[in-house]
Amino acid sequence: MFQRSHFSNFACATLLAAGLAAVPTAHAQIYSSGLSVSLAEPNSAGLGFAPRVERSPYAGGGTRFDLMPLYIYDGKHLFMDVNRVGVKLLDDPTQRLDVLLERRLEGFPITKVPASLTGMAMRDSSLDMGVSYSIRQPWGQLKAEVLSDVNSTHQGTEARLGYSKDWRSGAWTWRPSVSVAWRSAQLNNYYYGVRASEATTTRAAYEAGAGFEARVGLQTTYELSQHWSLLSGVSATLLSSNVSNSPIVQHRVLPSVYVGAVYDFGSHEREWVGASTPTHFKLLYGKATEDGCHMLKIITAQCMSTAKVNPTSISAVQIGRPFIQNFQGLPIDIVGYVGLAHHNDNGLQANGLQVDLFMKAYYAGFPWQDRVKTRLGLGMGVSLAQRVPYVEVSSQAANGEQTSRLLHHLDPTIDVSLGDLIGSRPLKDTYVGFGVSHRSGIFKSSRLLGNVTGGSNYIYSYIETIY
């Protein structure tokens, strides 16, 4: 049986995965609280990063750094935007209605815990579900949202009302915004309260209670080229007095700044006008590597051994659609993939499923291409596991580290045309090869990915056909 938190995360990711093949007709604009990214065309996808620095509200917490990986997709019915995924129930030029899941990026620091929080139970990020309704007019955008915890973390609710306005000048876009949020007592007590069992002589028990907080911000976007954009933003959040009076809270005003870059892959529909879009279909099977056999060692052929003690395996099917052919006039194609994998943990724990969403670049400019077409590929995206794979659980436990079901995904591969190898023209667009399925927390730098280090590697063989 799934726990409710497992099902909510996994079901939404699966729903989003199915939507990558949808063909949208609405404009491609992503909306989210705080950082937001605009995509130029319908059916677009984007990847990027945004390092963020913000003041911690907790006494002695100082300034905290967070790397925000930007995973972006905007379809007719489904979307993915940084820390939220959802379904569009209504989307036209003047209004939009979404049902969404959002990962709340709040909680105690995982490393360098300040003295004010010593001895307290960890406060984790939560998964919230809710609705978002926005009105878009020439005078700006007005948005209302209601979100509630769905994985029994804080068991609270938040209601938000915000206004923003885009100002454009050449390659620049400025987006000032202001918002107010009502936070329930359960939500505030979880993150800022002190339980009776956590009280000390210097830290009294405290219930924060419900309250309002306000936020002002300014985001700027500069379009470097048709696909590349630079992002930056500053904001300040004013906590409610109920929160700021907590014995573990030091600052009421929380400034934040971020800079980043995003690459917009554009629409695969534009790249294949007048022809049916090709579909990539891939089957793979692989085994987990030994602990310590990390990605760099594998791709440099210094380590190719799979685990002999407690071996586990993975099998998967992946479906891809092309986004860019001959990128920048080079022999590089960009393909967007959705993958569904099954983990066989060999009785060490219950088996589980995994959804991978990623963009992949293929280089095929080798001198021998006329004889045997060879592709060197690198995929990058996000991976969501139904349950953390055993290889990650065991290695993280040995190091005293946490695990996360949501991690960064890398997929390096090398393959050759089966048709060229055996002299069969019908199989020319069928490839056989080897790859690595890699999950990573990006060196404990991202709260979105659970602030974990480590991950897992599966060396696999595969067959892929394009039709």
pLDDT at 24 over 70: no
Residue 356: the pLDDT is 96
Radius of gyration of the chain (CA): 23
pLDDT band at 272 (very low <50, low <70, confident <90, very high): very low
pLDDT at 104 over 70: yes
Give the least confident one: 83-87, 158-162, 163-167. 83-87
Please name the residues in contact with 371: beta carbons below 8 A apart, sequence gap of 6 or more. 420
- The more confident residue out of 137 and 21 is 137
161-186: per-residue pLDDT in tens?
999 999 999 999 999 999 999 999 99
H or E element: which one contains 183?
strand 172-183
| CA dist., res. 415 & res. 373, Å (int) | 9
- What is the average pLDDT across 205-231? 94
pLDDT at 26 over 60: no
Q: Are residues 406 and 290 in the same domain?
A: yes
pLDDT band at 284 (very low <50, low <70, confident <90, very high): very high
The CATH number covering residue 335 comes to 2.40.160.20
pLDDT at 14 over 60: no
Q: Are residues 255 and 282 in the same domain?
A: no
Q: Of the candidates 220, 246, 269, which is a domain's last residue?
A: 269
Q: Are residues 247 and 314 in the same domain?
A: no
Q: Are residues 235 and 296 in the same domain?
A: no
Q: What is the average pLDDT value for the chain, to the nearest integer?
A: 87
Number of domains in the chain: 2
| CA dist., res. 47 & res. 70, Å (int) | 5
Give the strand pairing for 140-149 and 63-74. unpaired
Q: What residue numbers bound the domain in which 260 lies?
A: 4-269
**pLDDT winner (highest mean) among 4-8, 326-330, 352-356:** 352-356
Q: Are residues 199 and 168 in the same domain?
A: yes
- What is the average pLDDT across 56-73? 90
222: nearest Cα among 233, 209, 206: 233
Q: Of the candidates 218, 241, 269, which is a domain's last residue?
A: 269
- What is the average pLDDT across 445-459? 83
Q: Are residues 326 and 247 in the same domain?
A: no
Q: Are residues 251 and 110 in the same domain?
A: yes
- The more confident residue out of 189 and 75 is 189
365-409: per-residue pLDDT in tens?
999 999 999 999 999 999 999 999 999 999 888 888 888 888 999
Question: Does the pTM exceed 0.85?
Answer: no
pLDDT at 54 over 60: yes
- The more confident residue out of 248 and 1 is 248
Question: Are the C-beta atoms of residues 439 and 456 closer than 8 Å to each other?
Answer: yes
The CATH number covering residue 242 comes to 2.40.230
Q: Are residues 297 and 423 in the same domain?
A: yes
Residue 38: the pLDDT is 63
| CA dist., res. 386 & res. 121, Å (int) | 25
pLDDT band at 268 (very low <50, low <70, confident <90, very high): low
Residue 244: the pLDDT is 97
Q: Are residues 162 and 250 in the same domain?
A: yes
pLDDT at 259 over 50: yes
* Plot region of 236 (φ>0 → left; ψ -120 to 50 → alpha; else → beta): beta
**pLDDT winner (highest mean) among 71-80, 279-288, 292-301:** 279-288
Residue 22: the pLDDT is 35
Q: Are residues 53 and 90 in the same domain?
A: yes
Q: Of the candidates 209, 240, 269, which is a domain's last residue?
A: 269
| CA dist., res. 388 & res. 343, Å (int) | 10
Q: Are residues 263 and 205 in the same domain?
A: yes
Q: Are residues 205 and 288 in the same domain?
A: no
Question: Are the C-beta atoms of residues 431 and 397 closer than 8 Å to each other?
Answer: no
419-440: per-residue pLDDT in tens?
999 999 999 999 999 999 999 8
286-317: per-residue pLDDT in tens?
999 988 888 888 888 888 888 888 999 999 99
| CA dist., res. 100 & res. 93, Å (int) | 20
pLDDT at 195 over 50: yes
